[in-house]
Chain A
């Protein structure tokens, strides 16, 4: 009651003085987290009012790019997903947080090393602060696993055992995964040589027809040709429907998929899911997000904006709350000892999934990002689409992709 009174008083006093109105632009489901922690922020900064603007993942970034390009319309604080961060590192649009008055470099040691480095320009300017990282995991349906009589360790023992599991599911009329493409997406993100990125080598050479991609595409093509996947495009209505109806047994993804499933994609399937390491125990970094301040944010709002960024990224409590509510895995290793990591998650059938996520996260090697990642990913998606849907020869499709990427990064 006392706390409430203080808060109410603080709010009233705050309102009486001039309020700073901040906007924060995020993609789903980050808004759910921010809504939860905002009261805490208001307690610390009663004179600030925050408006959350939410869009889907792609729309958010497309709008952000347009806003930064035209120099107006961006929110005062923006979320940037890892796939896009390299672009802003290379091309600007976000404020240099290493400079005065931010001095972000003081926080460097708080974060997982590679996440910090990903938002840093070659000359050492930090353009965004990491908020979450994403260990790659496998989500699976417990009911389908039980029906086959397998244990999850048997499934993930190797890629071959994963496929074998798929064949047994097939006999029961259940698909192994919704789209073989996500298996390929997992494989291209694993076993990346130190210093290389997913799509580009350290020296900027595209790697789309390297053995890593060829192997990934070959395995995915085998899954498709044996009819083990449901052949449904990711993020389509049918994709969501497949999760709701449980027509597939596994999905390879970042740990964040659990948050999407739980909050909006298939909340009614609570308790039926479990999570595990990826097949073959491969280690994959699959996503991650950052908060930055656009250069166009007006000078009188920059202080408040920076307070909000610090609150969202460097506060262990807030990071843990994001993990609890939307499965956004904290980028701060100091949070991994928190008791909440041992909590049993109801949506995942009471599994202590966070211990698993933390364990995987600490083993994942860092991956270099490259400004051309977005284009390279689109060209890769197109190539794998042709390989899977049209049965195109793996080598020729990837050679063409390599050529297209090379042309694009002229």
Chain B
């Protein structure tokens, strides 16, 4: 039997330096990528596994690690029967849809108009739309909580003006009786108020995604359509939308994941309480309150896993219906 080079037997006869050199060549790649894996293990993998373990325990962190007590699935059973958990879940989905859907319905036509329209304005306008996205969510929410104020808020004052002024009374006059609206105090208005803020903050991000997506569509398609006599509207429906599908899929996935984890905006707008009747309390907020205000770390971990389950399920459904067809058009 022929001896292959590199087997232990063979290596034993080689000088030490060659062996070190060989070892280095084999180990170096692993060494070079190890920082990522070490950091990921500490800051990514460990917390994930620990939170899964934690969700099966009852643990008050102030009492120390020793007080952790195994309770099996009790936290999950507790949550599935918890009125505030279900309320926070339905709030989350309500806000995700009410703020997410309009983002795309506005961003796609807007991006189309930016790319097709006055090209010199495209970049400055995109930058302006993008500004809210890179502004701190907390700062934005603080400003909006002033805008939404009942007595002194700008929004109510503008609406009151519109309801009175002669030129707009025919349209807004009906509002006069309901003004001023207590945006952040009434259960019925809290979710819309949060949705308005989230929509405003994130639609610019989608505009940027869609303008980038539109730029990849060759102009020759539009020119060909124009020669065949297609209107702008026809170009939009039959060229832009189908070719934009991969980007739509990507942007909607982002929205699903981001909106279901909403925390800063409702937290600031409702002063950390979730608002009247918890109508502004999202699942992420409930998780935070349970864990860090009420010190029920086990239950909080269980909320995080149930929330993950919901986000995972919705993403899979989205992928199943839109992902494959979306990705196919690329080929």
Contacts and interface: CB of A to CB of B under 8 A. Distances in A.
Interface of A: 58, 62, 65-66, 68-71, 87-88, 91-93, 230-233, 235-238, 241-242, 247, 374-375, 378, 381-382, 385-386, 389-390, 392, 400, 404, 407-408, 410
Contacts of B29: none
Contacts of A88: 62
B146 A385 contact: no
A92 B63 contact: yes
A141 to B, nearest CB: 17
A314 to B, nearest CB: 27
B273 to A, nearest CB: 7
A91 B62 CA distance: 7
B146 A237 contact: yes
B150 interface: yes
Contacts of B293: 62, 65, 374, 378
B117 to A, nearest CB: 40
B331 interface: no
Contact of B150 (A70, A91, A232, A404): A232
B182 A231 contact: yes
B271 A390 contact: no
Contact of A237 (B145, B187, B276): B145
B61 interface: yes
Contacts of B272: 58
Contacts of B61: 68-70
A68 B62 contact: yes
B149 A237 contact: yes
Contact of A407 (B82, B184, B274): B82
A2 to B, nearest CB: 49
Contacts of B182: 231, 389
B60 interface: yes
Contact of A390 (B60, B64, B78, B276): B276
A389 B146 contact: no
B61 to A, nearest CB: 3
Contacts of B184: 233, 236
A277 B177 CA distance: 38
Interface in B70-97: 78, 82-84
A351 B78 CA distance: 54
B43 interface: no
Given A375-B294, A390-B276, A241 B62 contact: no
B292 interface: yes
A58 B150 CA distance: 24
Nearest to A67: B62
Given A91-B63, A390-B277, A236 B152 contact: no
Contacts of A62: 292-293
14 contacts: A62-B293, A65-B292, A87-B295, A88-B62, A92-B62, A230-B151, A232-B150, A238-B150, A241-B151, A242-B151, A389-B187, A390-B277, A404-B84, A407-B78
A71 B62 CA distance: 8
A410 B71 CA distance: 12
A238 B64 contact: no
Interface of B: 60-64, 78, 82-84, 145-146, 149-152, 182, 184-187, 271-278, 289, 292-295
Contact of A238 (B151, B289, B292, B295): B151
Top 4 A-B pairs, shortest CB-CB distance: A69-B61, A389-B276, A385-B276, A93-B62
A69 B295 contact: yes
Contacts of A375: 294
Contacts of B292: 62, 65-66
Contacts of B150: 231-232, 238
A58 B267 CA distance: 13
Contact of A382 (B62, B63, B273): B273
A391 to B, nearest CB: 11
Nearest to B74: A410
A92 B64 contact: yes
B187 A374 contact: no
Contact of B60 (A91, A374, A378, A407): A91
A237 B141 CA distance: 13
Given A68-B62, A382-B277, A408-B294, A241 B152 contact: yes
Nearest to A400: B83
Contacts of A231: 150, 182, 185
Contacts of B146: 237
Contacts of B275: 385
Task: Select the residue from B62, B83, B150 with max chain A CB neighbours within 10 A.
Answer: B62
Given A92-B63, A390-B187, A235 B271 contact: yes
Contacts of B278: 382
Contacts of A233: 184-185, 271
Contact of B152 (A238, A382, A390): A238
Contacts of A68: 61-62
B185 A404 contact: no
A87 B187 contact: no
Contacts of B60: 91
Nearest to A230: B151
Contacts of A385: 275-277
From A71, A91, A386, A389, residue with most partner B Cβ within 10 Å: A389
A263 to B, nearest CB: 21
Contacts of B152: 238, 241
Nearest to A372: B294
